[in-house]
Chains A and B, each alone.
Chain A
């Protein structure tokens, strides 16, 4: 593979905070040189040169919450279609979720996913393993063997581990192997059957709803179990103001906890379900505008350190249903970057902070070398045009499912080129 030189770029490195002119040389799959404000040193003759023309060159995005349908529901999404969508969206590392069919609750399934991804050879695909067998919330899955097989973290994804004894054991058992556990805080009894967040809007629309406090109830339990076991916890998708308060207190006390926010909950509020738009039905349901603002502030303040696309493909037949029967979730790999830019342009969060939360912060948590513009880091690069607005047409998305609440929205941030491991995997 020929080395590639990106010259005349505006470099943004979320690790060092550098934002300015520069150039990057990628060779042998890694970043061989980063030149800030200056041009690259001696360049060999046999080199491919990409003139960035002042556009932004940053590390490829790292998305740690990506659902596919493989194995088991390939009509929704395959690993290949997810990789194509990721490449087109500037996402160079993804962590696929274990809620497949069968669930990725043993080392063989983890191995299958990683092998398939290697054959596809586009972006870096990592896997998370299930916390409990068949995501049933009752019996522990083979956490040690999955960790050894390469599972980056342990999660039951959208399923809640209601039994505190099971959750305690999962936390302490995983800690023995140095495996990270993620858990989505939601009281399963309060949220059973809910399609929207409890409030005036849901009451008026006549939708079954869950009070936002259901999130805080489970979060408080999880934080207490972290205190008991000393095990680190990744809090999967914080969405509302009251749980952010609890989370802030726990962090201030030094508990080993990290939280994620999804672009859906950062960019939309409950009113976006408007006229029963099922594309805006996500899980947890969209919250009030006050909650959305609190979440954006928490990201800006660094309290919530990681942003994910919460990519959840659902085919049209699962979405074209009455609102409370429709499947929740939205695809996000190709709207990840535009969503970050929208949050930046609205003035709510500085771009460097957004980029950090979508690159180096998740990479560091999971022990990946990605997410940095630094010599020796993997050559995972994203070149994009901040200025070019376009209208999103869901049908142009590369995911097998086209369910996105951004459909028809005016977005900015056109991906021009994506490089993963030194190979160009997308070029506009």
Chain B
């Protein structure tokens, strides 16, 4: 990690105002801005490794976590990020069963808006929900995952992990493997990593990779060994159980045999390959524990650490914009 020697002062000098009020998609930032954001996040990594992690960039601000879909790691990551920056953090998890889409989402937004939060972090099961919410509230909205569309802070933390391990993203071969079809993580990563100059490959059975993804500037592979041959980074995606019992994939064992990451398949990758997973993992389905727990290749724990830092950087950037507008 290049964070050695960085501290709170670096955070202050590196903080910059976001170009827009909301952060819905990785395309809301230009590539130079992404680089600035990653530099800022590195400073936060250093701060987070100190005993005193508390800063005051968001002092007096209210951060609301609005998670329509259950999430442990993303929600606590945003909560920690907000608290370490000095914000007041409120977690709300409206029960999915009591919420129907469309009008009620807007009703919720209007109600929350009346409580005058400054930052609203939202996760919702429908693609486009974060964008819809952003049109109805006066605060900044951060997309923490909308349906099968985007999860931009995940892509940023993945880029930060890759940068930490390789010193760069440009020129690396990144294989994103598994259920691309239903993955917002994959979509955000394709946009961000190709933008940063990586060669991205999508690997999975044809039932889990959209036919039209070939037009995203990526390579598509249906044979895992070929797909990860020479890859510097292998990013595994989570496959939900209900998709594995014959609908899109015949069975767990067939999936693991052909698309699960084990030592044998990983041997086809480049020397020094690093393995990533957005979590939570299905061990023995998309990834073998043997690989997931090998700290020489696995960046999975590192991803979680980078997640807090990247979210601090995003919140700081949005808050800086709010300060400018004030």
CA gap between A86 and B249 in the complex, in Å: 36
User: Does A409 count as interface, using CB distance less than 8 angstroms?
Assistant: no
Query: In the complex, what's the smallest C-beta–C-beta distance from A95 to chain B, in angstroms?
Result: 21
Contact of B249 among A133, A140, A172, A177 (CB under 8 A): A140
Contact with B along A171-211 (1 / 0, CB 8 A): 01101110000000000000000000000000000000000
User: Do A142 and B207 have beta carbons less than 8 Å apart?
Assistant: no
User: Do B254 and A144 have beta carbons less than 8 Å apart?
Assistant: yes
User: Do A139 and B207 have beta carbons less than 8 Å apart?
Assistant: no
User: Do A142 and B251 have beta carbons less than 8 Å apart?
Assistant: yes
Q: A144-B258, A145-B253 are in contact. Are A133 and B246 (CB under 8 A)?
A: yes
User: Does B222 count as interface, using CB distance less than 8 angstroms?
Assistant: yes
Q: Which residue of B lies closest to A165 (CB)?
A: B247
- The number of residues on chain B lying at the interface, defined by a beta carbon within 8 Å of a beta carbon of chain A, is 17
Contact with A along B264-295 (1 / 0, CB 8 A): 00000000000000000000000000000000
User: Does A115 count as interface, using CB distance less than 8 angstroms?
Assistant: no
* List of B residues within 8 angstroms of A142 by Cβ: 250-251, 253-254
CA gap between A133 and B253 in the complex, in Å: 14
**Interface of chain A, helix or strand or loop or mixed?**
helix
Query: In the complex, what's the smallest C-beta–C-beta distance from B286 to chain A, in angstroms?
Result: 15
Query: In the complex, what's the smallest C-beta–C-beta distance from A222 to chain B, in angstroms?
Result: 17
User: Does B248 count as interface, using CB distance less than 8 angstroms?
Assistant: yes
Q: A173-B207, A175-B206 are in contact. Are A132 and B246 (CB under 8 A)?
A: yes
Q: A140-B250, A169-B248 are in contact. Are A176 and B206 (CB under 8 A)?
A: yes
* List of A residues within 8 angstroms of B152 by Cβ: none
User: Do B250 and A139 have beta carbons less than 8 Å apart?
Assistant: yes
Query: In the complex, what's the smallest C-beta–C-beta distance from B9 to chain A, in angstroms?
Result: 53
**Interface of chain B, helix or strand or loop or mixed?**
loop
Query: In the complex, what's the smallest C-beta–C-beta distance from A143 to chain B, in angstroms?
Result: 6
* List of A residues within 8 angstroms of B205 by Cβ: 144, 173, 176
User: Do B246 and A140 have beta carbons less than 8 Å apart?
Assistant: yes
User: Does B245 count as interface, using CB distance less than 8 angstroms?
Assistant: yes
191-227 of chain B: CB within 8 A of chain A: 205-207, 211, 222-223
115-135 of chain A: CB within 8 A of chain B: 132-133
User: Does A141 count as interface, using CB distance less than 8 angstroms?
Assistant: yes
CA gap between A141 and B206 in the complex, in Å: 15
Q: A172-B206, A176-B205, A176-B206 are in contact. Are A145 and B257 (CB under 8 A)?
A: yes
CA gap between A139 and B250 in the complex, in Å: 7
* List of B residues within 8 angstroms of A139 by Cβ: 245-247, 250
* List of A residues within 8 angstroms of B222 by Cβ: 175-177
Hey, which bits of chain A sit against chain B, CB under 8 A?
132-133, 138-145, 148, 169, 172-173, 175-177, 229
- A-B residue pairs in contact (CB < 8 Å), sample of 7: A132-B246, A140-B248, A142-B251, A143-B254, A173-B248, A173-B249, A176-B222
